[in-house]
Every structure is written in structure tokens, then in C-alpha cells.
Structure 1
Amino acid sequence: MAKVLCIIASPRDESWSSRLADGFLTTYRQLHPQDSIEMLDLFSADIPPFTAPQAAAKYAVLGGQEPRDRAQAAWVEVIRTIEHFKSFDKYVLASPMWNFSIPYRLKQYLDVIVQPGLTFKFVPEQGYVGLVTGRPLLLLLARGGTYGAGNPCETMDFQESYLRAIAGFIGITDIHAVRVENTLMETPEQVEERLQAAIREAGRLAEKFA
């Protein structure tokens, strides 16, 4: 039995990315009834802040030291969040594009879990090495425009490019992506057709998402 973490990064009930996740999970549950799926709604989750004490702890760890005092207490919550994240075998991340990038709650979550000694390390002979390995990630993305290769807006995509980069940094290299595009440029009926096509594409990935 595998444990799947499905991260929802939109606050909107009618979110295209969340609906895409619902469609994927419907098929996934049919194909993998033995697996357990936990939903993490980032807009209602208790994500630790990353302020001065947490930053002090991070730099202490980077310097080969143990966090102390307020930094140590703050670091406990960071470790708890990371241990929860690392307890899963597979990841599904549903996110809209906000201002060409990702919602701030998703960025906060990533800023908490990407930490030295916990999700990555530095090896002098190799450089940075990710510690979250051997696990697949499925990105279910919605964006108001089109950002594919050769598109004039291609360089404005800091959503998928960033998510792939940060996942790779912590060791996740088996990454798939399904996108619903042009959600702000077409009629609701046209976007609905795009969504259903994306759900079918995601459904085809569900069988081999392992």
C-alpha cells in the first residue's frame, strides 16, 4: 500500500486545478484502491511561518551548528512539517498560476520544507544533493494563458518551471505534468472541454503513477 499526498494550492472551490485533481483522484482510487490518499489544503492547513527564528535555525544548520533558544523551538515545527511531507510515497500537486508563478501559500509551504540536512544536503564533491528520492510527483496545473514551447509567453512561465526546479533540488526527478490552459482567454464551455481533456490525460497517467 502506498501513501499519496495530494496538495491543493487554490482557495477557490471552482478552481480548475482542484477540479483536475478531483478527476485524477477518481480514476486513481479505482485503479489503486489499496493506496491511502491524504488531502492537504494549503489555504486551511497550519503551515509554520518562516520568520527570523526559523531563518536563524536554517543558517545555524547550514553552518554545521545546532539551533538554539527561540531558533531551536521554531525549528521543531519545521522538522514536524518536513517529516509529514517525507512520510509519503507519491505526491500530487494541484496549483493555479498566480502572477506567472504560484500562490503564496504554496511558496510558504515550499520555503518550510526545503531545508538543509532534511530535504537536501551539500556534498563538496557533488554540490547540492536532494534527499527526497524515489518518489513520483504529478503536477496538475491551471493557467489563464498559454505558455508552451515557442509561445511568446513561454519565458513568463514561473509556475511549472519553478515547481520542476525546486522538486528536482530536493531529489524528486520523476515528474509528470498535466495542464489546463487559456482559462481566462476562452469561454467557460471551451475551458470545460479543455478540463475534461486534461482529466482524461491525467487518468491515463494514473495507472502508471508509481
Structure 2
Amino acid sequence: MVYIDDCEEWPLNLLKTGDLLFVRTDNTDALSRQIAAATQITTTERTMNYTHVGFLEEATANCFWVMHASPRKGCCREALADFLQENQTGVDAYRLRGQQIDYTAVAQRARQLLGSPYNFSFIADQPGYYCSEFICTIFKQAKLFKSIPMQFGPDKQILPAWQDYYQQLKLSVPVGQFGSSPNSLIAQTFPQHLKFIARIV
């Protein structure tokens, strides 16, 4: 567990249950690079290039867990310190605002998904969950996030790395099928319903 007194360099006093932790691109990880290349979004205000997202839960005073869907661990709950250790490329905290959301109920829905496998296909009707699918599922009742046609390269192209990826899965590239990404979650809600809180690492 992470406590404020132990980690003064982290702005933990700014965080609370319901915050979303977005992980910046890891250029050393092949899957992270592929996600970044396919889903990066540039607006007049900012470039969004996140490749992972988790849900923050404050279990007791200043004591935090992260629930998320991890390629290595599946749908899991882990101490914030461990989450940050594994994502040293950088983590930004965002908070939904202007919404009447029961975060206790959202956390309960997240706990119900724990133990589910990671959905490496990114296809909605396949078993398990990928990271943004996990977030969309637990926030489904808030009706904030919508599925969008997935892309696997710029200008509706399919990058060769994704062709190879799906060939290994023995599946067709689901270009145009509905799904999500960390960047699409931000694009739909920032800044009207989502605000930046802090850069944690």
C-alpha cells in the first residue's frame, strides 16, 4: 500500500476514489508502441498518447489501490506503489466532474471483474477485458464513454505490426469494429467532464 507519509514526492493528498490513472507510452514495450501508433489523438489543445488506464480506489485514509486490466495479470487489484513501479514512463491522474456518480458502486463493479482474463483481441465479444474496456464496463451506468470504430493505423490503414499481431491470434484485424482506447476515453470527456489532477510520476 502507498501512504502519503511514505511518499511525499507523490501528490497523493490530491487523489481520491474514482480518479483515472492514465499511463504514458512505453516505447520499450511492443504492444504499447502499437497502441500508441494506432490511437494517438491530436487536438488544438493537446496530444493524447496514453496506452493504459486504471481505476483508483482509496481503501482507507490515504491508502490506495488500482484496479485495471493488465496484459500480464488480467483484471487485477494492486497497490498503487506497484502500479507506479510497473509504469515508470509516467502516470497522470484525471477526475470526472459534474457527474453524480456513485463511486462506491463503480468500485464494487470493478471488484466483480477481478480475475477475468485480459482481452488480447480487443474484440468486444471475446472473453475478458482490455484496459479501456474495463473502465467503460465499470462506468457503464454513468453513460460517459461510448465505443468508437477502432483503428489500427493512421488514415484507416492497418500498420504491419497489427497485421502480424492478429495473424498470431488467428483473427482478422477488427478495424472498424466498435471499441475504445485510453485516448478515446479522454477525447470524449476532456475538458467538459474530465479534468487533469496531477502528474504522479
Q: Give the structure with the larger helix fraction.
A: 1
Give yes or no for TM over 0.5.
no
TM-score (norm 1): 0.33
TM-score (norm 2): 0.34
Q: Give the structure with the larger strand fraction.
A: 2
